[in-house]
Structure 1
Amino acid sequence: MKISCFQNAIDRLRGKKKLKIYPPYYNERIPLKAEYPDVYNAAGRKMEMFFLRDRHFSTAPYGTFPTRFLWDRFNYGLDTHFYTGKSACETMGTPKRQYAWLLEPRIKQPQDYERFEKDKALAEKFDCVLTYDERLLDRLDNAFFFPGCAFSWVSESDADIWQRKSKNVSILSSRKKMCPLHCLRIALAQKCKREGLADAFGTFDGGKP
């Protein structure tokens, strides 16, 4: 609580406005249906829709604009469900199939992994547990090797960023220090920038040119 109040005070001093967000409404008496509208990709192929309960990439509700399916974060009536991280404890509806998906590494979100290690029944709720964690792959019968990945945060508004490149190799790093590899990435970016080994972009040094 104290940390939250302190952060709110800092945000006010910085002039940062906090969004007022309301949770979606559900009718608890009437279950949602598995139907969804016909949506087609650029090639004319009909796209599927999967229900997603997630907080890890909640800033990108559609992900990287997939071409074969779309995430639906509201309709738990859909036949296929995905639950990321701690959302595995928040299953909804009666889907035909549902999958747990562990995205963040154990070093960042150890509690997500410990839940599955301590509660065997949790894993049994899912058709499959998607993970790249060696311990869970060895322990859970329904664990499936699924390496995580991330997309580039360079948006179309930064489309001319390549014009500032002077070398064939670039490094893009944020200032996050949430795990040892974040710190290593920052150190590499600083070295590349300091010694002119590669073009370095990002907020690792305050976003200085």
Structure 2
Amino acid sequence: MGSSLHWRCAGALLLGAAACYSQPLKANGFEDFDDAELIDHIAGSVARGYGRMYGYGVDFKLIGKETPHQSPLLVQYNAPLKRCTFFISTRDKTWHSFEQYLEFFEGLPKQVVYEAFFAHESGHCVQMNEQIDFGPVRRRHREELYADVFALSHVERYYPKHRKAFQEAQLKMRRAALGIQNEYDFYKELLKLHYSPGLQSALKVKNPQERAYSIAKAVDLL
């Protein structure tokens, strides 16, 4: 798959961290963010849950004030070690700037929305762990679409009554042309994907590995 070390971040804002802190994930590591304890709980349950499901290790590292950047959540996958590392900002300012994304999901429980964001990032690690390669053409865009659908799959599986609302909110977010979609019509592609028969079938596959590849196949057919 090329390089064994990859960076991804929430909302498709691709950034690199200059330095990171290897503290264990603690809610009180945040400055004073209202949702710190919820994020702490979700990070542990969702991220580690997918690690166990797909057979890779999960680490958490907090990014403090000394490493300011715009994204509250980054993920890095190390293929030789089969480890997915989540880098989580502790700065209130960073999380509040991220609330522009949360606004699209207004009306949905925060638990569902935050879980979906962690599922999105987990999707990147699952894709790399399962060695799913979308080829050289639009690889980065396909990887983002895959992670978006992985998040949708999470909502479908655990919160089916919120699936439709989440799907509509996800489309609205992508339509707003945030992140790398400035150079790629994510909304158009995601819209086609959401209503493709292949994806509807993939979301219902119970076996984790089969579901991962079924989602990839639906994305690859676009």
**TMscore range, shorter length:** under 0.3
The structure with the greater share of residues assigned to strand is: 1
Normalised by the size of structure 1, how large is the TM-score?
0.26
Normalised by the size of structure 2, how large is the TM-score?
0.25
The structure with the greater share of residues assigned to helix is: 2
